[in-house]
Amino acid sequence: MLRLKKIRSIAAAATLAMATLAAASMSGCAASNSNGKIIAIFFPKERAVKAADSVIDDIMGVSAMPAIAPAPAPATGATERRVIEVTKK
Amino acid sequence: MTLIFTTQQRIASTLVLLLCSWTPFALAQTEANLEIVSPSIAVIKKSIAGRLPALKPRFESLSIGLTRDGLIKIMQPDNIHPVERRSVEILVEDDNKDRATLYREIARANGRPDWESELKRTFGERWIYRAPAGWMIEDAPGVWKKK
């Protein structure tokens, strides 16, 4: 009797789980591609930007189309001291 | 058949429900990397790259510019010598065919052909963002300026 109850519990939970996954897929939250991998329904803009940059790098070469120049390194204490010394002179 | 659930079963089912509701979100977030490596994509990239040396002087002379949808366009045909005009037109046509194919192939490689227009727009933004200063770019729909 107890075993039957357990089986019924598992069956009910599994049914609910399947129904929920189906609902998630239908509502557009997630889906599987042809490889069975779960993919996002919504367009992943950030990842698309990274992918585009990578493709553009391959086509143009990094030196031909440079990305934004890296920000200058923050001033260190030593640099600040030198600036002060020069100003004093 | 009538199923009568006990309180314990209901709690267990609710927990499973919550877990299963969250899992697709979590997986979708972590596994949505865009696939950009495939034999056909590699061939198209090589083709576009091979055309670049011929097109680069045309970008620099403002004869052609980058559109917002990831393509290129002849902007000032007068800047091109009449003898060369047809060959430049062919270069631009071929390049645009390759670019369109590239975006379509990336969308397909990701199992989402419906992403093609979004990819075109994203590539358009990135081509423009990363173009050297002095090139013609489509700043707003139909509005061109020198970067």
Instruction: Give the tens place of pLDDT for each residue, A78-88.
Output: 444 444 455 55
CB B101 within 8 A of CB B46: no
Q: Do A39 and B17 touch (CB under 8 A)?
A: no
CB B16 within 8 A of CB A17: yes
CA B71 centroid distance within chain: 10
Mean pLDDT for the stretch of residues B25-30: 50
Mean pLDDT for the stretch of residues A10-27: 61
Residue bearing the bigger pLDDT, B106 or B6: B106
Task: Give me the residue from A16, A55, A66 closest to B13, CB to CB.
Answer: A16
Residue bearing the bigger pLDDT, B117 or A19: B117
What pLDDT digit, counting tens, does each position of A27-40 carry?
444 555 555 555 55
CB proximity B130 to A under 8 Å: yes
Q: Which residue has the tokens 């366009």?
A: B73
Q: Residue A30, exposed/middle/buried by CB under 10 A (0-12, 13-18, 19+)?
A: buried
Tokens linked to A30? 């997630």
Task: Return the minimum-mean-pLDDT range out of B26-40, B61-75, B111-125.
Answer: B26-40
Query: pLDDT above 90 covers what percent of chain A?
Result: 19
Q: Is the model's pLDDT at B144 over the cut of 70?
A: yes
What pLDDT digit, counting tens, does each position of B39-88 carry?
999 999 999 999 999 999 999 999 999 999 999 999 988 889 999 999 99
Q: Do B34 and A25 touch (CB under 8 A)?
A: no
Q: Which chain A positions have a beta carbon within 8 Å of B16's beta carbon?
A: 13, 16-17, 20
Q: Is the model's pLDDT at B11 over the cut of 80?
A: no
CB proximity A7 to B under 8 Å: no
Q: Which of A72, A70, A25 is nearest to B25 (CA)?
A: A25
Minimal Cα–Cα distance from B6 to chain A, Å? 9
User: For residue A51, what are the contacts with CB-CB under 8 A and spacing of at least 6?
Assistant: B34, B36, B106
Mean pLDDT for the stretch of residues B105-123: 96
Question: Taking CB atoms and an 8 Å cut-off, how many pairs form between chains A and B?
Answer: 119
Q: What is the pLDDT of residue A21?
A: 58
CB neighbours of residue B85 within 10 Å: 15
Q: Is the model's pLDDT at B25 over the cut of 50?
A: yes
Domain ranges of chain A: 2-68
CB proximity B16 to A under 8 Å: yes
- Within B61-115, where are the H helices? 82-109
- Within B1-147, where are the H helices? 7-30, 39-60, 82-109, 116-130
Q: Which chain B positions have a beta carbon within 8 Å of A66's beta carbon?
A: 130, 132
Tokens linked to B39? 């034999």
User: For residue A72, what are the contacts with CB-CB under 8 A and spacing of at least 6?
Assistant: none
* CA B24/CA B13 separation, integer angstroms: 17
pTM of the predicted structure, to 2 decimals: 0.63
Task: Give me the residue from A5, A34, A51 closest to B111, CB to CB.
Answer: A34
**Average predicted confidence (pLDDT) for chain A:** 65
